[in-house]
Amino acid sequence: MKEKKYSALGRHLAGLRADFVTISFAEIEEIIGDTLPASAHKHQAWWSNQTTNTHNWAHLWQSAGWRQESVNFDRQEVSFKRQSASLLSTLASLAPKTKETIYDLLNVAGISTQKWHQKANGDVAGAIKANGRYCYNWSFGSLHEKYVLCLWHDDLRIEENDIVTSESMRGLRDFLREDARNPETSESQRIRGLIQAVRADEFDQAVKESYDRRMPISVIIARGDRHDRERQGEGSSHVQFRALDPIPWYVHNYNEDNGEYLLVRGSEPKGLLDSISSDGNDMDTWKQDVLGVIKLRQGQTEFRNKLLAAYRKQCAVTKCRVEGLLEAAHIRPHSEAVNYDVTNGLLLRADIHTLFDLKLLFIDSQLKVRLAPELLASEYKQLEGREIVHPHSPSEMPNRDALQARFKEFPK
């Protein structure tokens, strides 16, 4: 039997452009992945905008900014209207009152859960949705899929005209590692603390990468019995309610020195180019590099079309086939010579292209991927030594001399 994906209803409403919508009960069942209870088909109270001890579904649509307007039991349909709610009422509506599995919420958010189906030894997992390798993590996803973060409702607050949260997961990571080195720390607490330090580090990386690329983040909000920061290693927090926020969040600030971040609900930060001052004096090195990369990519439509055909619309390194993410990369850059020949190009996924241009990822003369040392401990580590996809025609193979000349800059 399928489990209801309650949060999918809020996510569906949040994605609508209209201010009024009528949805049949059958359509709602399709959205949440299961049948509605019998009471939903005959009792007005089930669709009430007021939460009671026996009715806790209202937050599903209220967190998306809607309220129930009318219910027609003869026609088996319900109407919703977009509302202008105060920040206080919106923050209150974000407190989950249903408990959904992380597994189901990730599927609603578009994150693959295929790896949940296996145990650490490769055997098929029994209770897939309770797979201990993943279900206790604090962050999920990747650069390709985007990230999902788990937040506590108690940590959300109103700041000016936004709902926000802030923290330093890097600081928590360091605290847990230091506590594990304390000789007075028990063995069980030390192990638990080190595991949670890994989760904090993964969370920090997800925040940083989302900030660097101005990517939206999906947020799973939880309520329950939680440990204070200073007690993280002593035991596990217990989630009583959990739901997926239908509105995306964005990282507005990230401090490179200490990992402190500011997450803001529904408010997209300025674009990369808008956030860079005109004189460039306060640009970080990475911003200067990325700005240069962006300028070099302008006007390459024909070159990209050639590479799409040569590599059969797949990334030469990752085999990604999402065409919108594939870009044309030059082996010999424009600064040396303008060359739009297909042999001077590689079809690369956007993030791989950036790593290639910033000389963090190389292709050697044997057509194998080589990573700079700082990437060998990252999520890209599995690419080291991988042979790239060959073009359809031998005449379109990348120029090995050009690759070798570029490889001379490989960091030793």
Mean pLDDT of residues grouped by 10 in the chain (412 residues)?
71 87 93 88 87 72 88 94 84 89 91 84 81 89 89 92 92 87 83 86 92 90 77 69 93 92 89 42 46 47 86 93 84 75 92 86 94 86 94 92 91 76
Residues 154 and 72 in one domain: no
Residues 109 and 258 in one domain: yes
Residues 201 and 240 in one domain: yes
Is position 292 within any domain? Answer: no
Residue finishing a domain among 24, 55, 85: 85
In the block, tokens 């962006």 appear at: 294
Is position 96 within any domain? Answer: no
Residue finishing a domain among 214, 240, 265: 265
Domain that holds residue 35: 7-85
Is position 294 within any domain? Answer: no
Is position 275 within any domain? Answer: no
Residues 139 and 261 in one domain: yes
Residues 109 and 209 in one domain: yes
Is position 273 within any domain? Answer: no
Residues 110 and 210 in one domain: yes
Residues 150 and 190 in one domain: yes
- Residue 21 token pair: 């919508």
Residue finishing a domain among 24, 52, 85: 85
Domain total for the chain? 3
Residues 66 and 129 in one domain: no
Residues 243 and 351 in one domain: no
Residues 116 and 228 in one domain: yes
**Sheet of strand 157-159: strand arrangement:** 157-159, 162-168, 260-265, 249-254
Of 53, 85, 54, 52, the C-alpha closest to 67 is 85
In the block, tokens 């009430």 appear at: 48
User: Cα(275)–Cα(120) distance, rounded to whole angstroms?
Assistant: 43
Task: Read off the pTM.
Answer: 0.61
Is position 309 within any domain? Answer: yes
> pLDDT (tens digit, 9 = 90+) per residue, 398-412?
999 999 999 998 886
Is position 388 within any domain? Answer: yes
Residues 242 and 110 in one domain: yes
Residues 132 and 192 in one domain: yes
CB contact at 8 A, 363 and 346: yes
Is position 288 within any domain? Answer: no
Of 327, 354, 355, the C-alpha closest to 411 is 355
DSSP letters of 235-273?
---EEEEEEE-SS-EEEEEE-TTT-EEEEEES-PPPPTT
